[in-house]
Every structure is written in C-alpha cells, then in structure tokens.
Amino acid sequence: MKSAIRLLAGICLTVACAGLAAAGELIELATRPGVTQAVYFDSTSPHPSWVLILFPGGDGRLALAQSGPRRANGNFVIKTARYWIDAGQATAMFDAPSDHAATGMGDPFRLSRNAVQDIAAAVAAARQRYPGAKVALLSTSRGTITVGNVLKRDPALADAYILTSPVTQAHRTQLGLSGMSWPGNKARVLVVANEQDGCFVSPFGAAKTMAAANGFDFIAASSSAATGDQCGPKSPHGYLGIENPVLDAIGKWLMPAS
C-alpha cells in the first residue's frame, strides 16, 4: 500500500481563502458531435511545471465567462485556484459540457465514456498550451466521480489524479464511486479526506478504505469549522478554515522536493 500522510487542523493563511481574481482565458472545445466544452485557463507563468484541471462538486456547472466562473465560486477547488497560480502553476477550470449546461451533470453522465471524451479534449488543450507541463486532474466531492471514471477508463490520460472528499456512497439513483474499483492501478493517485466530514455520501472511513484497497496515496485532514450544509464548501467537507494547509500537503505530494 502506498504511503499515508496525516494533516491536522490549521489556519487559513493566504489567497486560498480570499476569493478568485479572474485574469485568464475562456476557450470552447469541440468534443463530441454538436457538443462544446468550456475550459478557463489561467497562469502567470509561461512555463508551469503542472496544469491542474479543476473539477468542482455539485452539478459541475460553473457558467464560465470571459471574467471567470459565475457559479460555484465558493467550491473548494474553484476558490483556491489562485493558490496554484501564485505557486507558478497553471489551472484549467472545467465546466459542464454544453449538452449538460442547463441541468448539470448527474452520475450516469459523469461515469460515461462521453465524459472521458470531453476531458481528453481538455487535457490535449492543456498539453498544447503548456508544452512540457504535466497534467493533474484535481477534483472534489461529486467532481471525484468524473475523475474516478477517467482513472478507470483511461488511466494514462493524466499524470496525476487527486480526489478530495470523494463521493463513495450511493444515494438513490446516484451511484457515486460506490461500485468502482481500480485493481492493479499504476497511475499516480492521491485521496484527501477530512476526519470530520459530515456529508453522508463521503464519509472519511470509506475514503480511507478506498485508498488502501487500490494502492492510492492518502492524506487525512481534520477540522470542525462549519457554517453551512455538511455537504457544502462551508464545512469540513470543503475544508473550511484549513484550505491552505490542505493545499500545501497536496502540493508537496504533487511536487515533492528533489
């Protein structure tokens, strides 16, 4: 089993908690017949070592515009995008594709081949835009279903996979990652979970078990601050108050000191 890292509660220190200042570029990719995929690229470096493609939770709709996301600005991976940009990396926010722009993405689509096709187009655009950079798929909550599906169907597509607060439990018709496993996994994968996560579809113990069973690296966070829904960003599920320490730990895993 790969290594596990424990992260204790900390204090939100810098820009990760200050909101997102938009200065990037929105592009529309033709992915499937009659379907386009919006991706918002941003970086202050012409030669980042990593491009982090960001997959939010909920229904996945960001309503991207030239000014940035118009929805889900409080989502963990969206509001902390500036952290990676300030570290010299590039980010790419991934919106719901045009055929799901009105309704958002449910689990049947997130687990489909079509979803992988859309993401493959975004990865190709990232590699063309930043030659030599590696690509990581960074997801949270229901976004982990999309990334887990890519990891299952095309594990060589990205250089690293990061699943924070993974949705491991089925609920009604939404299966999450409950029926999925990755035997013989050879990709580089990190799972991050909060010991105090109160969201019923993403319990800490199940995330830890999933990581151990599939040979994924694992980071345990611990915090209790909450001002909203237990499955929302203003809770341990969204690492409220410890955003920067969590990102620091992910960064050390992604870019270990040589």
pLDDT digits (tens, 9 = 90+) for 58-104: 999 999 999 999 999 999 999 999 999 999 999 999 999 999 999 99
Is-contact 75 58, C-beta < 8 A? Answer: yes
The band of 228, judged by pLDDT with boundaries at 50, 70 and 90, is confident
What element of type H or E holds 78?
A: helix 76-79
Is-contact 134 160, C-beta < 8 A? Answer: yes
> Do β-strands 90-94 and 160-164 pair in parallel, antiparallel, or remain unpaired?
unpaired
Q: What angle do CA 34, 148, 116 make, to 5 degrees?
A: 20
Is residue 6 scored above 60 in pLDDT?
no
- Answering whether pTM is above 0.75, one says yes
Inter-helix orientation angle 113-129/143-153, to 10°: 90
Mean of pLDDT over the chain:
92
Cα–Cα distance list, 190 to 25, 94, 147, 160 (Å): 28, 19, 12, 8
Q: What is the pLDDT of residue 256?
A: 85
The band of 220, judged by pLDDT with boundaries at 50, 70 and 90, is very high
Q: What is the pLDDT of residue 246?
A: 98
